[in-house]
Structure 1
Amino acid sequence: MAELVFVGCYTGDAGNGTGITTFSRSATGDLTEVASLPMESPSWLAKHPSLPVLYAANETATGGVTALALSDAGALSVLGTAETGGAHPCHLAVTPDGRFLLCANYTGGSLAVFSLSASGAVQSRTALVQHTGSGPDPERQEAAHVHMAVPSADGSVVSAVDLGTDEIRSYTLSSDGSLELLAVSQLPPGTGPRQLVRRPGTDLAYVVGELAGTVVTVRETSPGAFEVVSITESTLGGAHGYGPNLVAHLELTDSNLYVSNRGPDCMSEFTLDDLTALADQPCGANPRHFALLGGTCYVAAQSDDAVTAFTLPVTSSDLRRYPTGSPTFVLPVSLP
């Protein structure tokens, strides 16, 4: 089975990338660039749960999403594009049944839903919900900024994380793709929530507090409604004088939680059960998204113009570097 790694990036005035770069991954975990598809700022990538189709959020002022067919040989070709209805889309997710694509418009402060065809192509926008409000940070929370939209395990509930309003706003997703407000959960002022990741098999979830430099543990008390359980500094260096920290991405394994920290420029590892801090791993300048694959962590080190890689668990191991312009997202895909 061949393994590929697709890397999204910022382009033009936003960065030094050219589009989606494809790397092949060897048995030892090394990456080799094999292709590049020019595209405007494909900053977030998502794969269809059952079809050989990828989706790219084109993070621009007009806001777009591009559907891409993935051939048996790993080549990408454009299926089509659509406007997202809001500026600077920054996150995409496909519902578990593969019927809908969810899109968070960051600057637009809105959540969009698109219907998908049986082949995975984007058909039409079925919903566009506009958030309003603000938070205590006058520069980053002057308005609503939807940063992530997370479907529940059965796809019936969509939870939108709003960095600008310090809220998680959850909606019921109907069979026709429309949204109805279900619950609004408030987080501590100034948290700047960026991501929400549920812990499978439990009622717990974890929220990245980008502006506060925290990981917020929450409990889902009813579908789409969350209450704060605890707040943890997102890096060991939080107590040792690191400067400003804009937390970026979070991943869970069966036993550990990992989070990338911009400012400290490190990956931090915690035990999952009680969030005991274990280690910080330097991982390149401005680490955004990362992916855990086969005992290796691959990091989109945006300001280093490289994907960096190190072996897990975190042991301050040496970094491997794979050049690519202004990377923002790392998507591993296995080919049959």
Structure 2
Amino acid sequence: MVGKDTERAFIGSFTSAGGRGIVLASLDPDTGALTATGAVDAVDPSYLALGQAPGGPVLYAVSETAPGAVTAYDVAGAVPRPLGAPVPVDGDDPTHLSLTRGHLLTANYGSGSVSVLPLAADGAPQAPSGVLRHRGSGPDRDRQRGPHAHQVLPDPSGRWVLGVDLGTDSVRICALDPATGELTVHAETTLPPGTGPRHLAFHPSGRHVYVLGELRPVVTVCRWDAETGALEAVAEAPLFPDGVEEPASPSAPVVSPDGRFLWVAVRGTDSIVVLALDPTGDRGSAVASVPCGGHGPRDLVLGPTGTRLYVANKRSGDVTWFDVDAATGTPRRAGSLAVPSASTVVFV
């Protein structure tokens, strides 16, 4: 959520790798600096999302375990309060979650599925009302033997749900029936074999989608039609036009609020790559690359003011923030907070 009075952050950290669960932090709105203030017990919270209930904001966390689960916390007060026990998602290793039309959605990497959980009046998740199981595979024998749903995200119009699957080299466009909680496939956009799509990001106009490959360091530029639910790939933007000697495993894309830049966190090279987007949104080109401030950047998010980037560096155990040059889009390191096995960041 974006707002000038935002003063809190929640940071996921993998407990199986020495993390503390969900780390609480205060945010200095002037400098962007984070200061740890405590932690909440949570098992391997690989991704967090923020929702809104009548009583105030609700924080959701998936546990990337087999079987997987999701936990909700009332964060209206100073100390997060769990809204019941963790709820199984009927899938393994959930890596992402999002909210739409009174439901919580989880992308379950291990089982290659998307789960739909209805929300109670207080925001607490209920047992899954449906599980959409993906089918297919890809050419990478180590990573694509079967489906691996990595992200599930509603489009800006709220009409559709897009599921990104690393194992099948595709993005599924789905329709959610809010009455039954069932998710059905409307269409599927296939990417070049071996791309291994991980996450996508929408252009502020809502007319373009940028799909990030994890197995190939490339962004697939797509046109998006919310009226018909059509996703059309129109171009590719390599993250390293001149090649890259060491392995590169992109993790997270972020589009600037004005639609001029796309930032991508890349593991292996431990970098943030800056792509300039043309005015039409149809093309992108890599124009800069800076160190990510640590090792193993797993997530990249935009700060509340829209002028800073925050990187969750899992391997080095920190969250590093950057001021962004408004003219060039180039991030400049401004500070860091130690967070063992950091996975993701959300602001309230």
Shorter-chain TM-score above 0.5: yes
Matched, 1:300 2:302: no
The runs of 5 or more residues in structure 1 that have no matched partner are none
What is the aligned counterpart of 1:286 among 278, 296, 300? Answer: 296
Matched residue of 1:125: which SS? coil
Q: RMSD of the alignment, in Å?
A: 1.7
Which residue of the partner structure matches residue 267 of structure 2?
Answer: 262
Report the Cα distance in structure 1 between the residues aligned to 2:20 and 2:241, rounded to whole angstroms.
Answer: 35
Q: Tell me, which stretches of 5 or more residues in structure 2 are unaligned?
A: none
TM-score (norm 2): 0.89
Aligned residues: 326
Structure 2: how far apart are the matches of 1:260 and 1:111?
Answer: 24
Instruction: Say if 1:291 and 1:332, in contact at 8 Å, map to a contact too.
Output: no
Partner in structure 1 of residue 35 of structure 2? 32
**Superposed counterparts of 1:224-239, under 5 Å:** 224-234=229-239, 237-239=240-242
Matching residue's letter, 1:291: V
SS of the aligned residue for 2:90 comes to coil
Task: Name the residue aligned to 1:166.
Answer: 169
Alpha-carbon distance in 1 for matches of 2:126, 2:178? 15
Secondary structure of the residue aligned to 1:248 is strand
TM-score by structure 1 length? 0.92
* Alignment partner of 1:82 is 2:94: no
In structure 2, what is the equivalent of residue 206 of structure 1?
A: 210
**What does residue 19 of structure 1 align with?**
21
Alpha-carbon deviation of 1:227?
A: 2.0
SS of 1:239's partner is coil
Letter in 2 for 1:25: L
Matched residue, 1:105: 108
Q: Which whole-Å CA distance do the structure 1 matches of 2:39 and 2:206 have between them? A: 40
- The answer to whether the aligner puts 1:183 opposite 2:191 as a matched pair is no
Corresponding residue number in structure 2 for 1:215? 219
Measure, in 1, the Cα distance between the counterparts of 2:269 and 2:90: 35
Contact persistence 2:320–2:333 (CA under 8 A)? no
Change (3 A) 1:240 1:132: closer
CA distance in 2, matches of 1:211, 1:43: 20
Q: CA, structure 1 residues 156+318, in 2 after alignment: closer, same or farther (shift >3 Å)?
A: closer
Residue 322 of structure 1 aligns with which residue?
337
Q: Secondary structure at the match of 1:108?
A: coil
Is 1:192–2:215 an aligned residue pair?
A: no
- Partner residue of 1:310? 322
Name the SS for the 1:317 alignment partner: strand
Change (3 A) 1:9 1:224: farther
Residues 328 and 232 of structure 1: CA distance in aligned 2, closer, same or farther (over 3 Å):
same
CA-CA distance at 1:18 after TM superposition:
1.6
Deviation of 1:179 (Å): 1.6
Q: Is the 8 A contact 1:156 1:174 kept in 2?
A: no
CA separation of 1:316 and 1:63: change in aligned 2, threshold 3 A: closer
* Residues 52, 123 of structure 2: 8 Å contact kept: no
Report deviation, 1:224: 3.4
Distance 2:207 2:333 in 1: 37
Give, in angstroms, the shift of residue 52 of structure 1: 0.9
1:276 is paired with a residue whose SS is: strand
Cα deviation, 1:205-263, whole Å, max 9, x if unaligned, reads 110111111111012256333221111112xx451533111110011111211110111
Give the secondary-structure state (helix, strand or coil) at the position aligned to 2:315.
Answer: helix
Please say if residues 274 and 330 of structure 2, whose CA atoms lie closer than 8 Å, have aligned partners that are also in contact: no
Q: Could you tell me which amino acid in structure 1 is paired with residue 309 of structure 2? A: C
1:276 aligns with 2:288: no
Instruction: Spell out, residue by residue over 1:36-77, the C-alpha distance to the aligned partner (whole angstroms, 9 max, x if none).
Output: 01211001000015641010010011100011110333x211
Percent identity between matched residues is 37
